[in-house]
């Protein structure tokens, strides 16, 4: 008799962002994807993907492309608009009407709204007969599967509390949405975190979480070292990096928290101080439009022939750029985990990173740690790597070994141990 499979409802909505090469196709997207890929290997799991109707086709395309040969069942459920939004629509629609028209329009608006609620409840009741063992999301979610679908337990992976710590770095709408999602966290559900630092942050800023139900499960590495001979020359040509030049590499969404302006400024000070002409700063990653203009102002004042902005870097080019760099710099002001640091180490690239938040958990003793807000320490770190081949080689080897500690198999093993046992 075959063993009964664990029925998991997997929130896959975020996978829809994988179709476009923008800043949305970054850390959280890859986390969703890699965890699903790893879970798909398990014979003891029966996985159903949970998506909203508008994202269904996009998610199907991503899954077919990224997990070929694996077929998933899909469950779609439409969202009900917030009641305040419906009230506002009704008020606007009836503002320029006579009393009869106003009453009629309000009747249709609210009838449609409440009919949707009733139909959704009936549909959820039918879906509850699937008897899912757990609902899992790799992000904050407003959906309560326990209440609406009768799912036994609910789990979510928490990444960071950045919008709470640095609200000025985000549009007001983003901060509001984040606080809305934080508000639904509770003592009954279970939570995973991507680092011990993130676990402590959520316990500090979201006290309603039960400390016994939030578990650290370090995430894995998104980039592996598969570079072949001749790849570096091709990639340099693709991103307009001069063939005869060495380069340092930076990869992140271009936002204020990532500390790129200080990185660029101190790099320029470093090469001027030592009259260096053979080192280029290659800056990779998607960007936030409201910040890029500020960065461009700084770069335009600082001899842009020394700085190359690649924009979004294709997945297959990342290991090449990492392994070909003299070093990787990632001195962020705050990180829930800091996957690019792990990716660089896994590709044998020496790393300079910050000594704050979760980053020491990732880098260990395999790189250089500095204060994120110290220009002097940035320049000193650049000097250590540029003038010391042995240190670069030593940290390259240490990084490769360190990266072996973080795998998606370990992440999913720990999650499923909690879910199933």
Return the top range by mean pLDDT from 46-55, 109-118, 384-393: 384-393
Q: What is the pLDDT of residue 4?
A: 85
Q: Is the pLDDT of residue 389 over 70?
A: yes
Q: Is the pLDDT of residue 23 over 70?
A: no
Q: What is the pLDDT of residue 396?
A: 96
Return the top range by mean pLDDT from 91-95, 174-178, 210-214: 210-214
Least-confidence region, from 36-40, 49-53, 222-226: 222-226
Task: Confirm if 353 and 369 have CB atoms less than 8 A apart.
Answer: yes
Per-domain boundaries in the chain: 6-81+113-220+408-420, 231-403
Q: What is the mean pLDDT of residues 382-396?
A: 97
Confidence band of 408 (pLDDT split at 50, 70, 90): very high
Q: Is the pLDDT of residue 100 over 90?
A: no
User: Same CATH topology for 6-81+113-220+408-420 and 231-403?
Assistant: yes
Q: Is the pLDDT of residue 69 over 70?
A: yes
231-403 maps to which CATH number? 3.40.50.2000
Q: Is the pLDDT of residue 24 over 70?
A: no
Q: What is the pLDDT of residue 300?
A: 63
Q: What is the pLDDT of residue 97?
A: 61
Q: What is the pLDDT of residue 94?
A: 61
pLDDT tens-digit series, residues 169-203: 877 777 777 888 888 899 999 999 999 999 999 99
| Mean pLDDT (the chain, rounded) | 88
Confidence band of 117 (pLDDT split at 50, 70, 90): confident
What's the per-residue H, E or C state across the chain?
Answer: CCCCCEEEEEECHHHHHHHCCCCCCCHHHHHHHHHHHHHHCCCCEEEEEEECHHHHHHHHHHHHHHCCCCCCEEEECCCCCCHHHHHHHHHHHCCCCCHHHHHHHHHHHHHHHHHHHHHHHHHHHHHHHHCCCEEEECCCCCCCHHHHHCCCEEEEEECCCHHHHCHHHCCHHHHHHHHHHHHCCCCCCEEEECCHHHHHHHHHHCCCCCHHHEEECCCCCCCCCCCCCCHHHHHHHHCCCCCCCEEEEEECCECHHHCHHHHHHHHHHHHHHCCCCCEEEEEECCECHHHHHHHHHHHHCCCHHHEEEEECCCHHHHHHHHHHCCCEEECCCCCCCCHHHHHHHHCCCCEEEECCCCHHHHHCCCCEEECCCCHHHHHHHHHHHHCCHHHHHHHHHHHHHHHCCCCHHHHHHHHHHHHHC
pLDDT tens-digit series, residues 245-263: 999 999 987 778 899 989 9
Q: Is the pLDDT of residue 147 over 60?
A: yes
Q: What is the mean pLDDT of residues 52-69?
A: 91
Q: Is the pLDDT of residue 217 over 90?
A: yes
Confidence band of 30 (pLDDT split at 50, 70, 90): confident
Residues 6-81+113-220+408-420, CATH architecture: 3-Layer(aba) Sandwich (3.40)
Give the residue, 391 or 312, on which the prediction is more confident.
391
The side-by-side arrangement of strands in the sheet containing 307-311 is 307-311, 279-284, 246-251, 328-330, 351-354, 368-370
Q: Is the pLDDT of residue 303 over 70?
A: no
Q: What is the mean pLDDT of residues 328-344?
A: 95
Q: Is the pLDDT of residue 98 over 70?
A: no
Q: Is the pLDDT of residue 88 over 60?
A: yes
Q: Is the pLDDT of residue 3 over 80?
A: no
Torsion region of 340: left, alpha or beta (phi above 0 gives left; psi -120 to 50 gives alpha)? alpha
Q: What is the pLDDT of residue 289?
A: 65
Q: What is the mean pLDDT of residues 266-273?
A: 93
Confidence band of 46 (pLDDT split at 50, 70, 90): very high
């Amino acid at each position: 008799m075959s063993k009964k499979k664990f029925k998991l409802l997997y929130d896959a909505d975020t996978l829809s962002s994988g179709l476009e090469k923008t800043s949305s196709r970054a850390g959280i997207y890859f986390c969703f994807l890699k965890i699903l890929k790893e879970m798909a290997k398990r014979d003891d799991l029966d996985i159903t993907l949970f998506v909203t109707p508008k994202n269904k086709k996009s998610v199907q395309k991503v899954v077919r492309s990224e997990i070929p040969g694996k077929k998933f069942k899909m469950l779609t459920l439409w969202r009900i608009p917030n009641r305040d939004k419906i009230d506002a629509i009704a008020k606007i629609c009836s503002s320029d009407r006579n009393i009869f028209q106003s009453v009629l329009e309000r009747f249709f608006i609210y009838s449609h709204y409440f009919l949707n609620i009733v139909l959704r409840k009936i549909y959820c009741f039918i879906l509850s007969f699937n008897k899912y063992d757990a609902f899992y999301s790799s992000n904050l979610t407003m959906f309560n599967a326990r209440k609406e679908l009768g799912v036994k337990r609910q789990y979510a992976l928490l990444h960071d509390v950045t919008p709470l710590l640095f609200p000025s770095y985000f549009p007001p709408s983003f901060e509001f949405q984040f606080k809305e999602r934080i508000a639904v966290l509770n003592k009954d559900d279970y939570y995973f975190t991507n680092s011990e630092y993130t676990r402590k942050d959520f316990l500090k800023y979201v006290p309603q979480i039960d400390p016994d139900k939030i578990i650290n499960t370090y995430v894995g590495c998104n980039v592996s070292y598969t570079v072949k001979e001749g790849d570096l020359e091709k990639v340099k040509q693709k991103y307009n990096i001069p063939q005869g030049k060495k380069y340092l590499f930076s990869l992140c969404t271009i936002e204020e928290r990532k500390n790129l302006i200080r990185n660029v400024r101190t790099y320029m000070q470093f090469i001027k101080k030592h009259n260096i002409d053979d080192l280029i700063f290659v800056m990779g990653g998607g960007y936030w439009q409201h910040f890029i203009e500020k960065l461009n102002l700084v770069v335009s004042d600082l001899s842009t022939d020394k700085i190359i902005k690649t924009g979004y870097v294709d997945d297959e080019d990342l290991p090449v750029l990492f392994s070909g760099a003299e070093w990787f710099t990632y001195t962020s002001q705050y990180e829930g985990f800091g996957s690019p640091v792990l990716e660089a180490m896994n590709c044998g690239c020496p790393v300079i990173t910050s000594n704050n938040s979760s980053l020491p958990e990732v880098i260990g003793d395999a790189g250089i740690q500095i204060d994120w807000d110290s220009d002097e320490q940035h320049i000193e770190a650049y000097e250590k790597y540029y003038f010391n081949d042995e240190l670069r080689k030593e940290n390259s080897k240490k990084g490769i070994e360190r990266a072996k500690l973080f795998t998606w198999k370990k992440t999913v093993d720990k999650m499923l141990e909690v879910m199933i046992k």
